[in-house]
């Protein structure tokens, strides 16, 4: 029996289609019946088995699989399985690559002397860890109130197209501490477990522009 069975016809108003209850997989977002066409079948199966053992066995029990294979040639069945495993390996490799990329990303903190007395602190590279605008604007605003000074988002001079945060005054050491502690306004930065920045990801660039 399938879990996506239609409602009894007698209850549905004749002019409308009866509501169909399709359940979507929390892992791959396809209807459960189509998980094998996604790239996470192993995770999908484990998830469904713990959420809905009945539906799980209707889809993946030996009996269900035997029934399904009856409609396919051996060759078709094998290629379906191969394709599914291949997609899964590809998705895992991609996730691994993204984790490695995040781990080698750098945030650059620099002190820039604008005039003899005026210094600004620049934060570059945050976009590698959290989404760029408007999040950078929100962070700049938070820094502005935290240090009671001006803070803004500007295009980087060295890296055109990259936005950086400029804070009036020398607050570099404080900013570094706040970044490592995910202190407000950096509380949305990914945690270390999610590949977020560690001390080694922070570069202090002391040369003035």
Residues that bind Zn ion (CB under 5 A): 25, 27-28, 35, 44
Smallest separation, CB 7 to Zn ion (Å): 24
Smallest separation, CB 5 to Zn ion (Å): 20
Under a CB-based contact definition with an 8 Å cutoff, are residues 176 and 204 in contact? yes
Nearer to Zn ion, 60 or 129 (CB): 60
Q: What token pair was written down for 204? A: 């202090």
Smallest separation, CB 35 to Zn ion (Å): 3
Helix (H) or strand (E) holding 203: strand 202-205
Q: What token pair was written down for 199? A: 């001390």
Under a CB-based contact definition with an 8 Å cutoff, are residues 141 and 151 in contact? yes
ω into 134 cis (within 30 of 0): yes
Nearer to Zn ion, 35 or 122 (CB): 35
- Neighbouring CB atoms inside 10 A of 196's CB total 19
Nearer to Zn ion, 81 or 187 (CB): 81
Nearer to Zn ion, 58 or 130 (CB): 58
Smallest separation, CB 52 to Zn ion (Å): 12
């Amino acid at each position: 029996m399938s879990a996506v069975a239609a409602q009894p016809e007698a209850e549905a108003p004749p002019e409308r289609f009866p509501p169909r209850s399709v359940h979507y997989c929390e892992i791959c977002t396809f209807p459960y019946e189509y998980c094998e066409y996604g790239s996470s079948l192993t995770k999908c199966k484990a998830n469904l088995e713990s959420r809905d053992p009945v539906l799980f066995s209707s889809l993946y029990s030996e009996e269900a699989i035997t029934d399904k294979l009856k409609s396919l040639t051996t060759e078709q069945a094998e290629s379906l399985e191969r394709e599914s495993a291949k997609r899964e390996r590809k998705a895992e490799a991609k996730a691994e690559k993204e984790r490695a990329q995040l781990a080698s990303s750098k945030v650059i903190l620099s002190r820039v002397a604008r005039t003899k007395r005026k210094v600004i602190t620049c934060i570059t590279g945050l976009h590698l860890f959290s989404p760029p605008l408007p999040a950078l604007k929100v962070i700049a605003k938070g820094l502005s109130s935290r240090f009671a000074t001006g803070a803004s988002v500007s295009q980087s001079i060295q890296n055109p197209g990259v936005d950086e945060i400029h804070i009036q005054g020398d607050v570099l050491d404080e900013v570094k501490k706040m970044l490592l502690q995910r202190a407000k306004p950096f509380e949305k930065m990914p945690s270390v477990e999610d590949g977020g920045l560690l001390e080694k990801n922070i570069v202090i660039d002391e040369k003035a522009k």
